Amino acid sequence: MLEIDGSRGEGGGQILRTSLSLSTLTQTPIRLFHIRSNRSRPGLQNQHLVSVLAAGRICDAEISGAVLGSREICFRPGPIRGGDYSFSIGSAGSCMLVLQTILLPLVLADSPSRLVLEGGTHNPFAPTVHFLNACYLPLLRKMGIQVELKLERPGFYPAGGGRCTVDIKPSVDGLRPIEVLERGQLRSQSVHALISQLPESIANRELQVALRVLQWSKKSVRQEQVESLGPGNVLLVHCEFEHVSELVSGVGEKGKSAEIVAKNAARAMQAYLKSDAPIGLHLADQLLLPLALAGGGELRCQGITEHTLTNIGTIQLFLPISIAHRALADGTYHVALAKE
């Protein structure tokens, strides 16, 4: 049984999710301890517990310690089974993080899968459904992965209740390595404000501030009223290039003004554009696992975060893969993966 210290590196939920994915894929039993010990509320919270149970369900795993607040689990996977699955977090916890836990195992299953996921779809510290559709999944498709993610109802904190469906076709020939070193030509840019059960003035203020900071055309803005189980708002700042896309999500929160939400999102996009890197800060660590499973690949990214370094270490516990990273003269970083 592989022993994994969940306090290593950034010490959050990513170690748990990557470990579950790779335990399932490599059929390696694991004991994971000190789970999320670097967080203010350590141990398994709702979205982490559902990730454990979801990973267990798709491979009939034997699990111990899977209860709220637990700081240690043992996970013994069985064969991965495609099929129809439904997972509900029961809170506003991110169902996108649950998806990322089980997506790649189901991609490499022997039959198609359809998922129904309920919970938060637009969370402050997790990829939003729009980010996955704009940035993450298009690159996975270049690797031979066939996935369709549809948002049926957004879920905002604290009500949650979002709903997505995911259709996954197995990649019978495995995954293809890719190189993402240049953005290519700019194709479009947009600022999109979603709002539910809140005054429209909030979205208008966000759009005005974002345009002022970014100096983009008014033609790039869009406001959309959406139906959800509770009030919520998200500002989506999107740039689509020839080879990649970047999307920054500014999630509205109680006590945070529309102006601050918009400034933070716009400035994050400004930093990305200034760097000239094709891969943004948050996409880099998410691409490491599919590239490792493909046996190689190259990225040029905006930076190397603690999440990236932690994910590298976790992946290398399971797979014989070299993951090298170095700073370039232009301030971006080169990441190369190769089988050892």
**Alpha helices, DSSP H, located in the chain:** 13-26, 46-59, 95-107, 129-131, 137-142, 200-214, 258-275, 281-294, 306-318
Which residues carry out catalysis? 307
The backbone torsions φ and ψ at residue 107, rounded to the nearest 5 degrees and listed phi first, read: -60, -35
For 34, 41, 204, 253, the CA distances from 200, given in Å and listed in that order, are 44, 34, 6, 15
CA–CA separation, 280 vs 35, rounded Å?
27
Which two tokens mark 331?
């301030």
Strands 296-301 and 179-180: parallel
CA–CA separation, 4 vs 110, rounded Å?
28
Please answer whether residues 23 and 49 qualify as being in contact, where contact means their C-beta atoms are separated by less than 8 angstroms: no
Please answer whether residues 285 and 336 qualify as being in contact, where contact means their C-beta atoms are separated by less than 8 angstroms: no
For 18, 109, 183, 316, the CA distances from 335, given in Å and listed in that order, are 19, 28, 16, 15
CA–CA separation, 301 vs 172, rounded Å?
29
Please answer whether residues 228 and 118 qualify as being in contact, where contact means their C-beta atoms are separated by less than 8 angstroms: no
For 95, 118, 180, 213, 243, the CA distances from 91, given in Å and listed in that order, are 10, 9, 36, 34, 36
**CB neighbourhood size of 213 (10 A):** 18
CA torsion, ordered 277, 281, 286, 292, to nearest 10 deg: 50
